[in-house]
Chains A and B, each alone.
Chain A
Amino acid sequence: MVKVKFFAALRERLQCAEMQIASQPDDSVAAVRARLIEQHPHWQRELLDNDVLCAKNFAFVGHQEPVRSGDELAFFPPVTGG
Protein backbone atom coordinates (compact mmCIF):
# COMPACT_ATOMS: atom_id res chain seq x y z
CA MET A 1 0.00 0.00 0.00
CA VAL A 2 1.00 3.61 -0.57
CA LYS A 3 -0.04 6.32 1.87
CA VAL A 4 -1.28 9.48 0.15
CA LYS A 5 -1.69 12.82 1.93
CA PHE A 6 -3.22 16.09 0.78
CA PHE A 7 -2.65 19.49 2.31
CA ALA A 8 -4.17 22.96 2.61
CA ALA A 9 -6.54 24.11 -0.14
CA LEU A 10 -6.17 20.80 -1.98
CA ARG A 11 -7.15 18.83 1.15
CA GLU A 12 -10.23 21.01 1.54
CA ARG A 13 -11.29 20.77 -2.09
CA LEU A 14 -10.85 16.97 -2.19
CA GLN A 15 -12.30 16.63 1.32
CA CYS A 16 -9.57 14.13 2.09
CA ALA A 17 -6.49 14.49 4.29
CA GLU A 18 -5.06 11.00 3.99
CA MET A 19 -5.79 7.69 2.28
CA GLN A 20 -4.19 4.40 1.27
CA ILE A 21 -4.00 3.09 -2.27
CA ALA A 22 -2.73 -0.30 -3.48
CA SER A 23 0.66 -0.14 -5.16
CA GLN A 24 1.35 -1.80 -8.50
CA PRO A 25 4.48 -3.15 -10.21
CA ASP A 26 6.55 -0.39 -11.87
CA ASP A 27 4.45 2.21 -10.14
CA SER A 28 5.11 5.95 -10.43
CA VAL A 29 3.68 9.19 -9.07
CA ALA A 30 1.85 9.75 -12.37
CA ALA A 31 0.40 6.22 -12.27
CA VAL A 32 -0.78 6.60 -8.65
CA ARG A 33 -2.34 9.94 -9.53
CA ALA A 34 -4.14 8.36 -12.51
CA ARG A 35 -5.56 5.62 -10.24
CA LEU A 36 -6.68 8.24 -7.70
CA ILE A 37 -8.58 9.98 -10.50
CA GLU A 38 -10.07 6.64 -11.64
CA GLN A 39 -11.38 6.06 -8.12
CA HIS A 40 -12.50 9.68 -7.66
CA PRO A 41 -13.30 11.17 -11.09
CA HIS A 42 -14.28 14.53 -9.56
CA TRP A 43 -10.65 14.92 -8.33
CA GLN A 44 -9.35 15.15 -11.90
CA ARG A 45 -9.23 18.93 -12.23
CA GLU A 46 -7.57 19.44 -8.85
CA LEU A 47 -4.96 16.68 -9.21
CA LEU A 48 -4.00 17.54 -12.79
CA ASP A 49 -3.49 21.21 -11.91
CA ASN A 50 0.04 22.09 -13.06
CA ASP A 51 0.68 24.05 -9.86
CA VAL A 52 0.16 21.01 -7.62
CA LEU A 53 3.43 19.81 -6.06
CA CYS A 54 4.30 16.26 -5.09
CA ALA A 55 6.57 14.82 -2.41
CA LYS A 56 7.66 11.22 -1.83
CA ASN A 57 8.89 10.27 1.62
CA PHE A 58 9.19 13.97 2.56
CA ALA A 59 11.18 15.13 -0.51
CA PHE A 60 9.95 16.92 -3.63
CA VAL A 61 9.69 14.60 -6.66
CA GLY A 62 8.56 14.77 -10.27
CA HIS A 63 5.73 12.77 -11.78
CA GLN A 64 8.01 10.09 -13.21
CA GLU A 65 9.37 9.21 -9.77
CA PRO A 66 9.06 5.46 -9.01
CA VAL A 67 6.73 4.52 -6.15
CA ARG A 68 6.83 1.36 -4.03
CA SER A 69 4.66 -0.16 -1.34
CA GLY A 70 5.33 1.59 1.97
CA ASP A 71 6.10 4.97 0.37
CA GLU A 72 4.31 8.10 1.51
CA LEU A 73 3.17 10.48 -1.22
CA ALA A 74 1.82 13.97 -0.67
CA PHE A 75 0.10 16.35 -3.08
CA PHE A 76 -0.23 20.01 -2.19
CA PRO A 77 -0.54 23.54 -3.58
CA PRO A 78 2.42 25.95 -3.89
CA VAL A 79 3.73 26.77 -0.42
CA THR A 80 3.04 30.10 1.31
CA GLY A 81 4.97 30.11 4.59
CA GLY A 82 7.38 32.66 5.98
Chain B
Amino acid sequence: MSQRIRVQTADFDVAAEYQRLAQTSSCGAVVTFSGLVRELVDAELEALTLEHYPGMTERVLEQLVEQACKRWQLGEVTLIHRVGQLALNEQIVFVGVAAAHRKAAFAAAMFIMDFLKTQAPFWKQEHSSTGSYWVAAKATDKQAAEAWQEN
Protein backbone atom coordinates (compact mmCIF):
# COMPACT_ATOMS: atom_id res chain seq x y z
CA MET B 1 0.00 0.00 0.00
CA SER B 2 1.29 3.45 -0.79
CA GLN B 3 -0.32 6.73 0.09
CA ARG B 4 0.04 10.31 -1.06
CA ILE B 5 -1.34 13.04 1.21
CA ARG B 6 -1.11 16.72 0.33
CA VAL B 7 -2.42 19.94 1.88
CA GLN B 8 -1.70 22.68 -0.63
CA THR B 9 -2.84 26.03 -2.06
CA ALA B 10 -2.17 24.89 -5.65
CA ASP B 11 -4.82 23.25 -7.79
CA PHE B 12 -4.57 19.56 -8.73
CA ASP B 13 -4.97 17.68 -11.99
CA VAL B 14 -7.58 14.90 -11.67
CA ALA B 15 -6.41 13.19 -14.89
CA ALA B 16 -2.81 13.04 -13.66
CA GLU B 17 -3.93 11.77 -10.24
CA TYR B 18 -6.08 9.10 -11.89
CA GLN B 19 -3.19 8.00 -14.12
CA ARG B 20 -0.97 7.55 -11.09
CA LEU B 21 -3.63 5.44 -9.31
CA ALA B 22 -4.35 3.38 -12.41
CA GLN B 23 -0.75 2.18 -12.72
CA THR B 24 -0.89 -0.38 -9.91
CA SER B 25 -1.07 -3.72 -11.70
CA SER B 26 -2.65 -5.57 -8.76
CA CYS B 27 -5.59 -3.11 -8.72
CA GLY B 28 -8.63 -3.59 -10.93
CA ALA B 29 -10.64 -0.69 -9.49
CA VAL B 30 -10.01 3.03 -9.12
CA VAL B 31 -12.56 5.28 -7.43
CA THR B 32 -12.01 9.03 -7.37
CA PHE B 33 -13.98 11.82 -5.75
CA SER B 34 -13.56 15.57 -6.27
CA GLY B 35 -15.20 18.21 -4.08
CA LEU B 36 -15.80 21.64 -5.68
CA VAL B 37 -16.78 25.12 -4.56
CA ARG B 38 -20.48 25.47 -5.30
CA GLU B 39 -22.83 28.45 -5.38
CA LEU B 40 -24.80 29.61 -2.37
CA VAL B 41 -28.56 29.25 -2.10
CA ASP B 42 -29.36 32.79 -0.98
CA ALA B 43 -26.44 35.01 -2.07
CA GLU B 44 -23.79 35.30 -4.75
CA LEU B 45 -20.54 33.62 -3.72
CA GLU B 46 -17.50 35.79 -4.42
CA ALA B 47 -14.88 33.49 -2.89
CA LEU B 48 -14.32 30.78 -0.32
CA THR B 49 -11.44 30.80 2.16
CA LEU B 50 -10.21 27.52 3.62
CA GLU B 51 -8.31 27.79 6.87
CA HIS B 52 -6.59 24.83 8.52
CA TYR B 53 -4.41 23.88 11.46
CA PRO B 54 -0.95 23.19 9.99
CA GLY B 55 0.63 20.20 11.69
CA MET B 56 -2.62 18.69 12.92
CA THR B 57 -4.32 18.56 9.52
CA GLU B 58 -1.64 16.37 7.97
CA ARG B 59 -1.65 14.07 10.99
CA VAL B 60 -5.41 13.61 10.95
CA LEU B 61 -5.43 12.90 7.20
CA GLU B 62 -2.67 10.31 7.63
CA GLN B 63 -4.67 8.64 10.41
CA LEU B 64 -7.84 8.56 8.27
CA VAL B 65 -5.98 6.86 5.43
CA GLU B 66 -4.36 4.41 7.85
CA GLN B 67 -7.77 3.51 9.29
CA ALA B 68 -9.14 2.94 5.78
CA CYS B 69 -6.18 0.66 5.03
CA LYS B 70 -6.94 -1.40 8.12
CA ARG B 71 -10.58 -1.87 7.10
CA TRP B 72 -10.06 -2.67 3.42
CA GLN B 73 -7.36 -4.17 1.25
CA LEU B 74 -6.17 -1.14 -0.72
CA GLY B 75 -3.44 -0.70 -3.29
CA GLU B 76 -2.98 3.04 -3.33
CA VAL B 77 -4.63 6.09 -1.78
CA THR B 78 -4.29 9.75 -2.78
CA LEU B 79 -5.78 12.51 -0.63
CA ILE B 80 -5.35 16.17 -1.59
CA HIS B 81 -7.03 19.11 0.17
CA ARG B 82 -6.56 22.71 -0.85
CA VAL B 83 -6.37 25.70 1.51
CA GLY B 84 -6.41 29.46 0.98
CA GLN B 85 -8.78 31.43 -1.22
CA LEU B 86 -10.83 29.60 -3.85
CA ALA B 87 -13.33 30.82 -6.45
CA LEU B 88 -16.65 29.33 -7.55
CA ASN B 89 -16.26 25.93 -9.26
CA GLU B 90 -12.66 25.51 -8.13
CA GLN B 91 -11.55 22.12 -6.84
CA ILE B 92 -11.25 21.77 -3.05
CA VAL B 93 -10.58 18.12 -2.31
CA PHE B 94 -9.57 14.93 -4.10
CA VAL B 95 -9.77 11.38 -2.83
CA GLY B 96 -8.57 8.55 -5.04
CA VAL B 97 -8.46 4.88 -4.05
CA ALA B 98 -7.04 2.00 -6.07
CA ALA B 99 -7.94 -1.52 -4.91
CA ALA B 100 -8.16 -5.03 -6.32
CA HIS B 101 -11.97 -4.82 -6.43
CA ARG B 102 -14.56 -2.05 -6.64
CA LYS B 103 -16.35 -2.55 -3.31
CA ALA B 104 -13.26 -1.80 -1.26
CA ALA B 105 -12.39 1.20 -3.45
CA PHE B 106 -15.90 2.72 -3.24
CA ALA B 107 -16.21 2.10 0.50
CA ALA B 108 -12.75 3.42 1.38
CA ALA B 109 -13.23 6.62 -0.65
CA MET B 110 -16.54 7.30 1.11
CA PHE B 111 -15.09 6.43 4.53
CA ILE B 112 -12.18 8.84 4.05
CA MET B 113 -14.49 11.68 2.95
CA ASP B 114 -17.01 11.06 5.75
CA PHE B 115 -14.28 11.23 8.42
CA LEU B 116 -12.43 14.10 6.76
CA LYS B 117 -15.65 16.14 7.03
CA THR B 118 -15.86 15.70 10.80
CA GLN B 119 -12.25 15.15 11.93
CA ALA B 120 -9.81 17.11 9.77
CA PRO B 121 -9.21 20.66 11.07
CA PHE B 122 -10.33 22.69 8.05
CA TRP B 123 -12.78 25.59 8.21
CA LYS B 124 -14.61 27.26 5.33
CA GLN B 125 -15.49 30.93 5.23
CA GLU B 126 -17.80 32.11 2.47
CA HIS B 127 -17.44 35.61 1.07
CA SER B 128 -20.54 36.93 -0.67
CA SER B 129 -22.21 40.21 -1.55
CA THR B 130 -23.87 40.16 1.88
CA GLY B 131 -20.65 39.65 3.89
CA SER B 132 -18.27 36.95 5.11
CA TYR B 133 -19.63 33.98 7.03
CA TRP B 134 -18.04 30.90 8.60
CA VAL B 135 -19.76 27.76 7.39
CA ALA B 136 -21.60 25.87 10.13
CA ALA B 137 -20.93 22.16 10.65
CA LYS B 138 -23.75 19.92 9.40
CA ALA B 139 -25.46 17.33 11.57
CA THR B 140 -25.75 15.08 8.50
CA ASP B 141 -21.94 14.99 8.18
CA LYS B 142 -21.63 13.94 11.81
CA GLN B 143 -24.26 11.22 11.31
CA ALA B 144 -22.44 9.93 8.21
CA ALA B 145 -19.19 9.51 10.17
CA GLU B 146 -21.01 7.92 13.13
CA ALA B 147 -22.70 5.41 10.85
CA TRP B 148 -19.26 3.88 10.07
CA GLN B 149 -18.68 3.25 13.76
CA GLU B 150 -21.82 1.13 13.94
CA ASN B 151 -20.70 -1.09 11.05
Contacts and interface: CB of A to CB of B under 8 A. Distances in A.
B53 A81 contact: no
Given A58-B55, A82-B113, A76 B123 contact: yes
Contact of A8 (B51, B92, B117): B51
Interface residues of B, number: 27
A79 B121 CA distance: 5
Contacts, number: 73
B122 interface: yes
B50 interface: yes
Interface in A40-82: 51, 55, 58-60, 74, 76-82
Contacts of B101: none
Nearest to A7: B53
B33 to A, nearest CB: 10
B59 A80 contact: no
Interface residues of A, number: 18
Interface in B95-151: 113, 116-125, 134-137, 141
A41 B6 CA distance: 39
A78 B141 CA distance: 11
Given A7-B51, A8-B51, A9-B134, A79 B123 contact: yes
Contacts of B116: 81-82
A18 to B, nearest CB: 11
Contact of A82 (B117, B134, B136): B117
Interface of B: 35, 50-53, 55-56, 59, 81, 92-93, 113, 116-125, 134-137, 141
